[in-house]
Amino acid sequence: MAETLPSPPPGPAGAWAEFRGIVRAQENDQTISALEYEAYPAMAEREIRRLLEEIAVRHPCLATTVIHRIGIVPVGETAVYVGVAAKHRGAAFALLAEFMDRLKQDVPIWKRRSLPAAPTAIPLPVNSLRVPPAGQPMAIPVSLAEAMAEIYERSKPLPPMPVSLEEACGRILRQPVCAPEDMPSCDRSTRDGYAILQNDAQNEFRIVDVVHAADWKPRQLQSGEAARVATGAALPCGGLCVVMQENVERKGDAIKILRRETVLNLRRRGEEAKAGEPLLQTGMRLDPGKLALLASAGCAQPLVSPRLRVLHFTTGDEIIPPGKIPQPGQVRDSNSILIRSLLQKFSGTVESAHLPEDFEKAKAEISNFKFQISNADVVLVSGGASVGEKDFTRSLLAWLRFEIVFSQVNIRPGKPLIFGTNGNRVAFGLPGNPLSHFVCFHFAVATALAKLTGESAPKFLRGRLSAPFVDAACARETLWPAQLGPAGLRPLPWASAGDVTSFATANALLRIPARCDSLESGTEVDFLPAGDMLDA
Amino acid sequence: MRVLFFAQLKDVTGCDSMELTINEPLNSDQLWVALLVKFPALAKHRASVRLACNSEYAGPQTQFNQADEAALIPPVSGG
């Protein structure tokens, strides 16, 4: 809620008293990172107006500005701003003090909750094991839409934390950011030249001041007076224009205008944003341009999502490192680098380990692992291609105290996808084939990561096929690798879920309905951006 | 009549607003009675909660009509 009353008139005000209420780092003996405010906006605005009018009867003033932020306000930032213009300081101070007292009694604004200073450790819920024992029939497979909705619903956003601007690049902003003051804060020249009154019909002017870029020299220019100004300099008062130096003839401390332009050659106060105007919204990914805007708005410690901590286990005795030569029956591990590079966009840290297929040995390996499982926000288990991989992954996730939400999705490829939660942590058991990995990451893992980091969930877009789609009809909905180019979506050939070549050049996944065996070129289809299109 | 709940009262009622049908104008006490029927848990907040009618605090004379917007204002904590 932002209530902006007229700015103080330049005339009779002899006092301009300001108050800023700042969010403190301590609230009810707890160290916090931010407060969240809630308001009844219509009534708050009305009450503020009513209180000001009531108090101004006793302490006459000329103008006031009141801004109260709602939503998340980080520690150290202004939650409430009040400016009062009066003839004399006594009235301004008195009105300000009484208004703040009354605001805290009557204006319907509430501190809804405080956000803790650092993410707190998540205790393991011991009694949440509801995994059916091995050998029991699997739950009915969920549909693609159900799976995505379930994952989004059950994943919880990580508590935001304040970080420096350098640290914030690539992370998700978790607070709205408003202009702290008019931007720019005063009229500024865009030329080296001479500032004069806009409608001054004189032709010759006397130079009464020189204003460099860093100067602040307020004065009311009169007709026939000019101020020498540099590009970027704050103009001495409102209502001015700047005549470029190329268009004047200077003689000593006087100038003569040779040519007048219709443009004013200035950036007006507040033309980029007025005080209190929203600049950036919660959920935006901070890129270089947005970081520059945060810096210019004075938001040096934005509240962002913490870096995701991902733990990735590969399994399967047939897997060997990419640098080794495979014996018959062995395959090089392509999933580790796939996961690691797909996670880069989500600015997380990835710890990986390979687990032996023997469950007891795998448990011993995890127990010896230097990385604390309880420190991971996301646990990914890449299955091998061997028989019983799913039971292995299920048992492993159950042993790690994850509650399995679903263990089959009616989708091709990627049907044996497992999703589980443990408190605020999520886990996926990814079917081992590389194309399944690619597909499951984009529709499932990316959905959870988006929710954890406070971003909006991946969404299907509409596009047109630039080539026909032909396949044997499948009873399951299919996510088919494709390449999105200027002409549209071109389906890529793939033969099996183990096919790595099929998605090497894919940047989209087509959503092919169940039992569909062909689509003509030009047909409109749903697709999910993938691979390097994730950033687009 | 639309009734709005704010801050901790949202947690008490589990919603941020409700529709209340009234057949005749109610004063504050009568409105409380109607609300407590729907949400008995509001009882212990009654002493500290002020009623508002169309964005103004209600007084002893205030009458709530079907077309009004009522609001329950728990102790405020702005600033």
For residue range A456-468, list pLDDT tens digits in order. 889 999 999 999 9
For residue A266, what is the DSSP state? E
Q: What is the pTM of this model?
A: 0.64
Contact B79 A68 (CB under 8 A): yes
In chain B, what residues touch A38 (CB-CB under 8 Å)?
6-7
- Contacts with A, B 11-50, CB within 8 Å: none
Q: Strand ranges (DSSP E) for A317-423?
A: 319-320, 331-332, 348-354, 378-382, 403-406, 411-412, 418-422
Residue of chain A whose alpha carbon sits nearest to that of B70: A43
Residue A40 has its nearest CB partner, among B6, B77, B79, at B6
Arithmetic mean of pLDDT over chain A = 87
- What's the rounded Cα separation, in Å, for the pair A114 and A111? 8
Contact B71 A43 (CB under 8 A): yes
Residue B78 has its nearest CB partner, among A42, A46, A103, at A103
Contact B73 A108 (CB under 8 A): yes
- What's the rounded Cα separation, in Å, for the pair A441 and A334? 14
Q: Is A416 helix (H, G, I), strand (E, B) or coil?
A: coil
Residues linked to residue A194 through DSSP beta bridges, in sequence order: A228, A243
Q: How does pLDDT run along chain A (536 residues), one tens digit per residue?
A: 343 444 555 567 888 899 999 999 888 778 888 898 999 988 998 999 899 999 988 998 888 888 899 888 888 888 999 989 888 999 999 999 999 999 999 999 999 888 877 544 333 333 333 334 444 434 578 999 999 999 999 999 998 999 999 999 999 999 989 888 888 888 999 999 999 999 999 999 999 999 998 888 888 999 999 999 999 999 999 899 999 999 999 999 999 999 999 999 999 989 999 888 889 999 999 999 999 999 999 899 999 999 999 999 998 888 899 999 999 988 899 999 999 998 888 878 899 888 888 888 888 888 887 667 888 999 999 986 555 666 789 888 989 999 999 999 999 999 999 999 998 999 999 998 899 999 999 999 999 999 999 998 899 999 999 999 998 888 899 999 999 999 999 999 887 767 788 889 999 999 999 999 999 999 999 999 998 776 55
Q: Is the dihedral of CA A301, A302, A306, A307 positive or negative?
A: negative
Contacts of B7 (CB under 8 A, 6+ apart): A38, A110, A112, B74, B77
In chain A, what residues touch B6 (CB-CB under 8 Å)?
38, 40, 108, 110
Contacts of B44 (CB under 8 A, 6+ apart): none
> How far is the CA of A137 from the CAs of A391, A407, B58, in angstroms?
12, 11, 61
CA distance B34 to chain A (A): 22
Phi, psi (degrees; rounded to nearest 5) at A151: -65, -45
Q: Which helix (H) or strand (E) holds B70?
A: strand B69-73
Interface of A with B (CB under 8 A): 21, 37-40, 42-44, 46, 68, 79-80, 100, 103-112
Mutate to test the interface with A, among B3, B11, B76 (most CBs of A within 10 A): B76
Please, what are the domains in chain A?
15-116 (3.90.1170.40), 144-158+306-453 (3.40.980.10), 161-182+272-304 (3.90.105.10), 188-267 (2.170.190.11), 461-533 (2.40.340.10)
- What's the rounded Cα separation, in Å, for the pair A398 and A371? 19
Q: Is A28 helix (H, G, I), strand (E, B) or coil?
A: coil
How many angstroms from the chain centroid is the CA of residue A413? 31
CA distance A277 to chain B (A): 19
ipTM: 0.96
Contacts of A269 (CB under 8 A, 6+ apart): A182, A184, A185, A186, A187, A238
- What's the rounded Cα separation, in Å, for the pair A531 and A163? 28
Other beta carbons within 10 angstroms of residue A127's beta carbon come to 6
Residue of chain B whose alpha carbon sits nearest to that of A107: B76
- What's the rounded Cα separation, in Å, for the pair A20 and A233? 27
Residues linked to residue A204 through DSSP beta bridges, in sequence order: A256
In chain A, what residues touch B79 (CB-CB under 8 Å)?
21, 68, 79-80, 100, 103-104, 109
Burial of A48 (0-12, 13-18, 19+ CB in 10 A): buried
